[in-house]
Amino acid sequence: MGKLQLRKVKILGTGKYMPSRRVTDEELDRLLGVPAGWTGKITGVGERRYAAEGETSSYMGARAAEMALESAGLNFADIDCLVCTSGTKEQPLPSTAVFIQQAMGEEDSGVPAFDMDATCLSFLNGLDVMSYLVDSGRYRRVLLVATEIASAGLNWADKESAALFGDGAAAVVIGQAEPGEASRIVYASMKTYSRGARYSEIAGGGTRRHASQYSADRPEPFLFSMNGQAIFRMASKLLPEFLDGLLAPSGTRLEDIRLVIPHQGSAMAMRLLRKKLGIAEDRFFDNTRNHGNTIAASIPMGLHEAIAQRRIRRGDRVLMLGTAAGLSLGGLLLDY
């Protein structure tokens, strides 16, 4: 067995914000110029939300953060650090976390605020890294916020990927578990295989292809691009061994896990992967329908919904699992 990474860290509260604009499959059929029913068949989403005017990433993140604090019975003054764990940014500089702090009315608080980005695995990466700082006592309580506006950068000519995504935000407050409490992080792992780096990307907007090079005649480098089939083929080969390596150090079996909360990539991909990994349907949380793929917000949204729906209770073992651009695989095992 590998070395355990036990951290006595507890999920204190969760929150979620869904933007106001509802976008149905039927509306996307018309927008994309495809036959009626095509979007529903390809995505299985039904309805997703797009940010309306005024619903910036920081606004949405702030509202989700306020809900998480309320559910934890805390105020912003009880927080030592604010981390934005998103795959999209409100602007290149400064970090989105700064604007979330501002949108919460806490611009003079001095609470450190910064971003951590591992695209769709940003929340898992942030939870993993920051839990060590909480466990060590460096911070007492950390507010993690994933807020995503995918709709701003979709390439409508790439119909299949454009139809998958939705906007939204989720937030989680973590703190040290009290003595005697079962809550803890058991084990986490992340592996990156950069052979797949170009399978999912926005090539423009950074220093290699600066925004000053943007042309309305050829906007594609500055829009989202994804080879979904290549990602699925690569991930499906790698995930079984990855999952074994994630569970083995703690001696955890799939039947010991109350609920698997995956990154909600696409309904079809999740159905196939669930069967390939041998996860029972009643232990697999799928909220793609009415959400779509909300990038890094999808896993904390799933966690929030699973708690609200009482699919998990204190002491239950939970697995959060996903893939991300990179190509990266990530998972985190916790006792809620």
Catalytic residue list: 120, 263, 293
Buried b (16+ CB within 10 A) or exposed e, 18-39: bbeeebebeebbeebebeeebb
105 phi-psi bin (left φ>0, alpha ψ -120 to 50, beta other): left
Distance of CA 68 to the CA centre of its chain: 16
Side chain identity, residue 4? L
Report how far apart, in Å, the C-alpha atoms of 51 and of each of 89, 166, 169, 330 are: 14, 9, 10, 28
Distance of CA 250 to the CA centre of its chain: 24
Number of H helices, E strands in the chain: 9, 13
Which residues are CB-contacts of 282 (< 8 A; sequence separation ≥ 6)?
none
- Summarize the chain as % helix, strand, coil (round to 5): 40, 25, 40
Distance of CA 83 to the CA centre of its chain: 13
Strands 9-17 and 168-176: antiparallel
Which residues are CB-contacts of 151 (< 8 A; sequence separation ≥ 6)?
50, 51, 165, 166, 167
Distance of CA 28 to the CA centre of its chain: 23
Strands 259-262 and 317-324: parallel
- Say whether 9 sits in a helix, a strand or coil: strand
